[in-house]
Amino acid sequence: MYKILRQIARVGIASEPARPADGALRLGAARLNDETLRLLGRGLAIRHVDAGSCNGCELEIHGVNNPYYNLEGMGIKFVASPRHADLLLVTGPVSRNMEEALRRTYDAMPEPKLVVAIGDCGCDGGIFGEGYASRGPVANVIPVDVAVPGCPPEPAAIIQGILTAVSVAKR
Amino acid sequence: MTLSPPAIDGITLEPLPGAVPAWHAACDAGSWLGASSAVAQRGGRLAALWASDEREARGGHSVHAAFATYEGLLWLELPVPDARPAYPDLSSLFACAGRMQRAVFDLTGLEARDVEGARPDARGWLRHGAWRDGVHPLRRDIGADAALAPGDARYAFLAVEGDGVHEIAVGPVHAGTIEPGHFRFSVVGERVLRLEQRLGYKHKGIEKRFESLSLNDGARLAGRVSGDSTVAYAWAYAMALEGIAGAQPSARALWLRALLLERERLANHLGDLGFIGNDGGFAFGLAQFSRLKEDLLRLNARLFGHRYLMDRVVPGGVAIDLDERASQDILAECTRLRAELRTLRAIYYEHAGLQDRCIGCGRLTPQTAAKLGVVGLAARASGHAVDARAHPGFAPYPELQPTIASHRNGDVAARIVVRFEEAFEAIELQRRIVRNLPAGGLRAPLGEAQPGRWGFGWVEGWRGEVLVALQAGDGGRVRRCHPHDPSWQNWPALEYAILGNIVPDFPLINKSFNLSYAGADL
């Protein structure tokens, strides 16, 4: 126990501030208003679905909860069921074998059903494109609010995408 | 050291050019089975199995089997006529052939038949409902952008019956940030009687996609078969292409590739050590290891321009270099990481909670591992010191002399120990590379890639051996490419490692293997 406590004390707090929301990442109009945001407060629940990625984006989604980015420190947490989720984080070109599972996950979510597509493949199909087994971008299968490009996008960019999805449009 | 080819009766071996010792043999049905049996008797492993459409050239298809033998890679090719698209089943000799043969059927329509003429498992593997039974998308008369009509997605799991037996179905969407796949547990109370995996959810047609790319552009796609192993795949692909095109990367380029591969190994081991600790109820471990991994990724981004080193290994060499300042940064990081790892290893090894969860949990015995042809770190944790860096060895590893970690217990704890030892060795190898980096060019020119020629790449990634079989087509294009992930061999091992354990230990056992879904779903 002593060694664990010493290590914790030695390392200290590594968390860094997040990048603010960026409206340029939006695919459509912002759907939240101040009232909804007030209701969400500082709590946001995310469900992640890998719809066919190379698993590179998953590495960076893991990264958002490392001590540097510390997404959970902002009150944003990953949940195990879409029924508990405000926001769906989707990676990959959507493989045809995952299309139905992705739709069902989306259907199971309560409103406002925010969706953030992660990575070049989620944005436009990426290097895999569309084909006999791939439906391409996430927006081909479910409505997408925010798309975060990158191969893979780094954790700071993923967090920025999430914060953009829960921000109201600047007038 | 050049080894003589494996002495196997009934086939004529042709040496293949390239960085690893490899021989090709054309077979008929009799010699295919005879040579495969001889390999099995001599303790060889099935490394990969795939098929190619040869109807334009000579009619029919070919099925290909690559074996890892003591001498090197033995590659058998069996022409299969259209009139009877069947070949002798290999799953009775090599258990891991089963799923590969099912994938071959889904993609090309060739059927594996046993001695009685039956198909050992006629269920689809990669084909769910995305296309119809009887349609085989890797055939060359189906266009790259063909939209295929959806088919029937039903799948018959093997049912376990008995008093109190029930099923737990999990996936494809899992309760966490992981890749999709389906696990069907048959349990009594909490104890697992049987686990059946159904994978293929991530199948996105990578092999077909290769066929619309140039040989050079194929390197980018190869680097995205399984993102966590991008260096291993890009290197294996480059090795295959360099074999075809007669290119010899400089010693400097090869050493830099090894530097990148060891950084990839270290990054993944750090991540896994954190997540295994977390699944064992020790969140401290995840926080600490994910911090160290992030430090390493940030140094990657600063020195090499990409956190995961994608597209840094290119055909002919590398797209990065190392100057004096960068060398010092890496040496300083090595020193710091080694000290941090020692602290954390002492904490992990002394932690009573982790000992309780990990020792004896999810045991894969050396016998089962051998029977299943398990590779990579999972094999090394189950008493088999298989590592392509040591044997057959590919440049520059014979010069770097890596120490191969191994353990006999085959449990979660053994896979933790092997990861710690390999992490320390990856640090040591980086120091050795940086201090002795030879001078030379970064990228050698590629010669002509003669259409129809095959090349082979074989690289020990962090998870296990990554193989790439590549065939050049007309006009500098890819005619056929089969990238092979070690997860093909290791997924079935998880079905055995879980037996007799309780359901709540599954996430821990699964994480201790950390297999790739994307890599094997293609």
DSSP per-residue letters across A40-96? HTT-EEEEEEESS--SHHHHHHHHTTSTTT-GGGGTEEE-S-GGG-SEEEEESS-BH
The proportion of chain A whose per-residue pLDDT surpasses 90, expressed as a percent, equals: 70
Looking at residue B17, its pLDDT comes to 87
Mean pLDDT for all residues in chain A: 91
CB contact at 8 A, B509 and B497: yes
Are B265 and B372 in a shared domain?
Answer: yes
Partner-chain contact A49 B173, CB within 8 Å: yes
The residue in chain A having the minimum alpha-carbon distance to the alpha carbon of residue B351 is A1
Among candidate residues B136, B200, B192, B197, the one with its CA nearest the CA of residue B167? B192
Of A54, A60, A101, the CB nearest to B225: A54
Determine the Cα–Cα distance for residues B59 and B505; give it in Å rounded to an integer. 51
Task: Assign residue A20 the CATH number of its domain.
Answer: 3.40.50.12280
Is residue A11 domain-resident?
A: yes
Output the pLDDT for position A171.
42
| CB-CB neighbors (< 8 A) of A4 in chain B | 284, 347
Statement to judge: residues B492 and B472 lie in one domain: yes
Q: Which domain holds residue A114?
A: 2-165
Collapsing DSSP to helix, strand or coil, B114 comes out as: coil
> B259 with B405, same domain?
yes
Question: Higher confidence at residue B1 or residue B76?
Answer: B76
Output the domain CATH number for residue B81: 3.30.460.80
* pLDDT at residue number B244: 95
Q: Report d(CA B153, CA B433) in Å as an integer.
A: 50
β pairing state of A114-118 and A87-91:
parallel
8 Å CB contact of A131 and B150: no
In sequence order, the β-bridge partners of residue B127 are none
Number of domains in chain B: 3
Structure ipTM = 0.93
How many beta carbons lie within 10 A of that of residue B86, not counting itself? 16
- The confidence score (pLDDT) of residue B2 equals 58
Within this chain, do residues B310 and B424 fall inside the same structural domain, yes or no?
yes
- Least-confidence region, from A33-37, B111-115, B265-269, B500-504: A33-37
How many CB pairs below 8 Å do chains A and B form together?
Answer: 163
Other CB atoms within 10 Å distance of the CB of residue B70: 11
pTM over cut 0.90: yes
Give the integer Cα–Cα distance in Å for B414 and B395.
29
Picking from A14, A92, A133, the nearest residue to B205 by CB comes out as A133
Residues B210 and B183 in one domain: no
Residue B120 has pLDDT above 90, yes or no: yes
User: If you average pLDDT over every residue of chain B, what do you get?
Assistant: 94
Interchain proximity A152–B227, CB inside 8 Å: yes
pLDDT digit string (tens) for A87-144?
A: 999 999 999 999 999 999 999 999 889 999 999 999 999 999 999 999 999 999 999 9
pLDDT at B122: 92
Contact B201 A97 (CB under 8 A): yes
- pLDDT value at residue A30: 79
Judge whether residue A169 has pLDDT over 70.
no
Is the pLDDT at B208 greater than 90? The verdict is yes
Q: Which of A17-31, B125-139, B254-268, B438-452 has the highest mean pLDDT?
A: B254-268
Candidate from A40-49, B331-340, B365-374 with smallest mean pLDDT = A40-49
Name chain B contacts of A7, Cβ cutoff 8 Å: 284, 288, 343-344, 347
The closest of B275, B310, B229, B290 to A153, measured between CA atoms, is B310
| CA gap A68, A153 in Å, rounded | 16
Per-residue confidence at B1, pLDDT binned at 50, 70, 90?
A: very low
CA distances from B94 to B98, B99, B115, B307 (A): 8, 11, 15, 38
Does residue A171 form part of some domain?
no
Testing the interface with B: which of A2, A3, A47, A50 to mutate, by most B Cβ within 10 A?
Answer: A50
Would you say how long chain A is, in residues?
171
Nearest to A127 among B128, B224, B230 (CB): B224
- pLDDT of residue B50 exceeding 70: yes
- Domain holding B378, by residue range, is 206-521
Per the CB < 8 Å rule, is A81 touching B175?
yes
Does residue A41 surpass a pLDDT of 90? no
B177 and B151 together in one domain:
no
Q: How many domains does chain A have?
A: 1
Interface test with A, best of B204, B214, B263 (most A CBs within 10 A): B204
* Better pLDDT: A37 or B359: B359
